[in-house]
A and B are shown apart, each in its own frame.
Chain A
């Protein structure tokens, strides 16, 4: 038999996505979701309070005739379990945050509940690409690359045409493509690497600097321009710096006016919950709809682990083999240097 709270907790277990508004820290988003969930979980009916058996002396018997004393037994609910005494039953729900978004940027933020937090780690290790929309403006540059920062430099941008912009973007993308190949640790001459590259599935294997896998211009209405970026291992600051560097490459300055994440791996913007929907009624169906993707993320990760382990074991085996070989040779050398007679004997035996 399960309690209503336990049933609720079993539903609150998995991954889902929220839409973080601009100007809010991700911690605040996480805490808001947690408090909303706690309110509902704590309002679940508590188990009935334990009863305390009390023996009560009947006062009348005590006064009138001292010889006849009657003790009545009564069981009353113990105050120890009163909600005002125990306080709320749950103080914490495990809410984990996926790839962070800083206060300036908005967009899809993946949250994990309960055991879903382990899937968050798997998601992190899978190096999925994330998609951003960057809005920029030519003509000035600031100290923190956003339009609200302190202005450092101003410049004209009349010479920037759509063509030139495209060319610069293509150049940046080319450089990133090269970096991607080196960090993916694939031998490019193999059939496997060729197939992955054709599908566009090359990924950095371990930790890597931010890498753009796709970059294109959506619109350019001087001085505003909108870029669409797919990338791995990025931070929002890196993306703002990218806008700044695009400006520099075009012999002008640019600031970033908006960073918006439209996709985080399999979590798309359409499924993200907006601010008013961070309630249990909306979160539970969202988690249920993402259950399959969560399972897939876990499965891929465990597969990758197995592959890695087998790789590493073969590597270590190879290493040990080489090291033992070395050791043997060293021993032989030593032996040879110490007592040449024996080696000579050995040599003879051979």
Chain B
């Protein structure tokens, strides 16, 4: 055993250095590998990548997998022309092999000469086994070897983010580029999703790869049947990548829920959903909660809520506590009535610290005047939307330095 192992190592190093040294076929299996390799090249290519992940799960001992592995691996690396299948066979020999086989191996080995020259054809078939780890924590090890992963990176998909999610990494490794990925990409292109969006979208939702294309088609046609234009469908899909993972029934339920809860016309519901398609994907409970908060806690009328939602759909998904904090400050401290807030609902979407420090600055200057009928009226929009410099120069009529100095007294 020991002798055999050393011989193998020696042989391997020799052959890698000078490929024209002929290596006689040691085992019968190796001859079969050679005869197979050409014909099965394309067939095995399909399974080759799949092998990486499969082996990770069963992690069989070397001696057992050796012959199979060489068969599977040889053809799949189109880029690596040199096949060293015979050598690979050899390298497995010193492993735990039954006694009968070792005797055969020894016999065969005695008959061969490592210094025999081999033809170019044989040399080209020498396969260098890729040193891929059977198990790994990152996709980095596989990126250069796998056609799918390489293409996904070129597409702009962030593999470093995806591999952090459970099960996504092995799912990606199992994918076949031609069979699984290309049809989906073509489908998305047909939908009208922009090229730049593709990578971001699939980074967010890699499970689109596992969906059946017919289902996706059915969902898109459902959306189109609800009179969403094809452009808006494309925008929705790229904004909320999980949209297409929802079944038609669920989508229908959700669209119905929004139309019913908001009491809006079909056209306006469509408008709201197009602008914030995340509404359809997220949980419905916070939406219900926010509507209740607006109605009962804030005391908005029904038509005011409708107006707010059509203007700023994001109010439905923001944190309830933040919403209450802002409303409390605007209504109780600043003294702005409901009608004005409903007119400028953007303020409910702004940052609380932002509103507070600006209001307090204006109050300090004696300019906090939010009544539209009085002179020096400052609209909520101007209070929130302007950047700091223009706010100071146009609204507060003070310098930016003063504003910053004032912030340090809060």
Task: Please state if A23 and B353 are interface contacts (CB–CB under 8 Å).
Answer: yes
Instruction: Given A79-B150, A85-B139, answer yes or no on A106-B410 (Cβ-Cβ < 8 Å).
Output: yes
Task: Please state if B353 and A24 are interface contacts (CB–CB under 8 Å).
Answer: yes
Determine if A272 is an interface residue (Cβ-Cβ < 8 Å). yes
Instruction: Given A79-B153, A274-B407, A275-B407, answer yes or no on A54-B120 (Cβ-Cβ < 8 Å).
Output: no
A residues within 8 A CB of B160?
84-88
| A47-62 Cβ-contact flags toward B at 8 Å (1 or 0) | 0000010111100000
Task: Please state if B140 and A85 are interface contacts (CB–CB under 8 Å).
Answer: yes
Determine if A269 is an interface residue (Cβ-Cβ < 8 Å). yes
Instruction: Given A24-B353, A55-B80, A87-B160, answer yes or no on A82-B407 (Cβ-Cβ < 8 Å).
Output: no
Q: Among B80, B161, B388, B409, which residue has its beta carbon within 8 angstroms of that of A276?
A: B388
B residues within 8 A CB of A269?
408
Determine if B81 is an interface residue (Cβ-Cβ < 8 Å). yes
Q: Among A24, A69, A274, which residue has its beta carbon within 8 angstroms of that of B408?
A: A274
B residues within 8 A CB of A274?
404, 407-408
Task: Please state if A21 and B144 are interface contacts (CB–CB under 8 Å).
Answer: no
Task: Please state if A66 and B139 are interface contacts (CB–CB under 8 Å).
Answer: no
| B153-191 Cβ-contact flags toward A at 8 Å (1 or 0) | 100111111000000000000000000000000000000
Q: Nearest B residue to A88 by beta-carbon distance?
A: B160
Task: Please state if B404 and A66 are interface contacts (CB–CB under 8 Å).
Answer: no
Q: Nearest A residue to B121 by beta-carbon distance?
A: A66
B residues within 8 A CB of A57?
81, 124
Task: Please state if B144 and A52 are interface contacts (CB–CB under 8 Å).
Answer: yes
Instruction: Given A19-B407, A22-B410, answer yes or no on A84-B79 (Cβ-Cβ < 8 Å).
Output: no
Determine if A218 is an interface residue (Cβ-Cβ < 8 Å). no
Determine if B330 is an interface residue (Cβ-Cβ < 8 Å). no
A residues within 8 A CB of B352?
23
Instruction: Given A54-B79, A56-B79, A66-B121, answer yes or no on A84-B157 (Cβ-Cβ < 8 Å).
Output: yes
Task: Please state if A79 and B124 are interface contacts (CB–CB under 8 Å).
Answer: no
Query: What is the size, in residues, of chain B's interface with A at 8 Å between Cβ atoms?
Result: 30
Q: Nearest B residue to A67 by beta-carbon distance?
A: B120
Tell me the bound Cα distance from A56 to B79 in angstroms.
Answer: 6
Tell me the bound Cα distance from A204 to B115 in angstroms.
Answer: 86
Determine if B248 is an interface residue (Cβ-Cβ < 8 Å). no
Q: How far is the CB of B161 from chain A (nearest CB, A)?
A: 7
- Which residues of A75-99 are within 8 A (CB) of B? 78-80, 82, 84-88
Instruction: Given A55-B81, A85-B159, answer yes or no on A80-B404 (Cβ-Cβ < 8 Å).
Output: no
Tell me the bound Cα distance from A269 to B153 in angstroms.
Answer: 48
| B179-211 Cβ-contact flags toward A at 8 Å (1 or 0) | 000000000000000000000000000000000
Task: Please state if B410 and A84 are interface contacts (CB–CB under 8 Å).
Answer: no
B residues within 8 A CB of A52?
144
Determine if A71 is an interface residue (Cβ-Cβ < 8 Å). yes
Tell me the bound Cα distance from A57 to B161 in angstroms.
Answer: 35
Task: Please state if A275 and B353 are interface contacts (CB–CB under 8 Å).
Answer: yes
Task: Please state if A80 and B140 are interface contacts (CB–CB under 8 Å).
Answer: yes
Task: Please state if A19 and B408 are interface contacts (CB–CB under 8 Å).
Answer: yes
Task: Please state if B153 and A84 are interface contacts (CB–CB under 8 Å).
Answer: yes
Interface range on chain A: under 10, 10 to 19, 20 to 34, or 35 or more?
Answer: 20 to 34
Q: Among B82, B161, B353, which residue has its beta carbon within 8 angstroms of that of A55?
A: B82
Determine if B255 is an interface residue (Cβ-Cβ < 8 Å). no
Q: Nearest A residue to B203 by beta-carbon distance?
A: A84
A residues within 8 A CB of B121?
66-67, 69
Task: Please state if B353 and A21 are interface contacts (CB–CB under 8 Å).
Answer: yes
B residues within 8 A CB of A19?
407-408
Tell me the bound Cα distance from A66 to B123 in angstroms.
Answer: 12
A residues within 8 A CB of B139?
85
Q: How far is the CB of A52 from chain B (nearest CB, A)?
A: 6
Determine if B273 is an interface residue (Cβ-Cβ < 8 Å). no
Q: Nearest B residue to A79 by beta-carbon distance?
A: B143
Q: Nearest B residue to A22 by beta-carbon distance?
A: B410
Tell me the bound Cα distance from A306 to B82 in angstroms.
Answer: 68
Q: Nearest A residue to B150 by beta-carbon distance?
A: A79
Q: Which of A52, A55, A85 has the most CB of B within 10 A?
A: A85
Q: Nearest B residue to A66 by beta-carbon distance?
A: B121
Task: Please state if A79 and B144 are interface contacts (CB–CB under 8 Å).
Answer: yes
Q: Nearest B residue to A258 by beta-carbon distance?
A: B410
Instruction: Given A69-B124, A85-B143, answer yes or no on A56-B81 (Cβ-Cβ < 8 Å).
Output: yes
Tell me the bound Cα distance from A86 to B163 in angstroms.
Answer: 10
Task: Please state if B153 and A85 are interface contacts (CB–CB under 8 Å).
Answer: yes
Q: Nearest B residue to A276 by beta-carbon distance?
A: B388
Q: Nearest A residue to B80 by beta-carbon distance?
A: A55
Task: Please state if B161 and A80 are interface contacts (CB–CB under 8 Å).
Answer: no
Q: Nearest B residue to A133 by beta-carbon distance?
A: B409
Tell me the bound Cα distance from A276 to B120 in angstroms.
Answer: 69
Tell me the bound Cα distance from A275 to B404 in angstroms.
Answer: 9
B residues within 8 A CB of A86?
140, 160
Q: Nearest A residue to B354 by beta-carbon distance?
A: A275
Tell me the bound Cα distance from A66 to B121 in angstroms.
Answer: 8
Task: Please state if A84 and B140 are interface contacts (CB–CB under 8 Å).
Answer: no
Tell me the bound Cα distance from A214 to B4 in angstroms.
Answer: 87
B residues within 8 A CB of A55?
79-82
Task: Please state if B408 and A272 are interface contacts (CB–CB under 8 Å).
Answer: yes
B residues within 8 A CB of A85?
139-140, 143, 153, 159-160
Q: Among B79, B141, B153, which residue has its beta carbon within 8 angstroms of that of A82?
A: B153
Q: Nearest B residue to A87 by beta-carbon distance?
A: B160
Tell me the bound Cα distance from A298 to B371 in angstroms.
Answer: 56
| B112-142 Cβ-contact flags toward A at 8 Å (1 or 0) | 0000000011001000000000000001110
Q: Which of B79, B141, B410 has the most CB of A within 10 A?
A: B410
B residues within 8 A CB of A272?
408
Provide 15 A-B residue pairs closer than 8 Å at the C-beta atoms, listed in order of the A residue.
A21-B353, A21-B357, A22-B410, A24-B353, A67-B120, A69-B124, A71-B81, A79-B144, A84-B153, A85-B143, A85-B160, A86-B140, A87-B158, A87-B161, A276-B388
Residues on B lying within 8 angstroms of A by beta carbon are: 79-82, 120-121, 124, 139-141, 143-144, 149-150, 153, 156-161, 352-353, 357, 388, 404, 407-410
- Additional A-B contact list (7), CB under 8 Å, known A55-B82, A69-B124, A276-B388: A52-B144, A67-B121, A69-B121, A79-B153, A84-B158, A85-B143, A106-B410
Minimum-distance CB pairs A-B, first 4: A87-B160, A57-B81, A79-B143, A274-B407
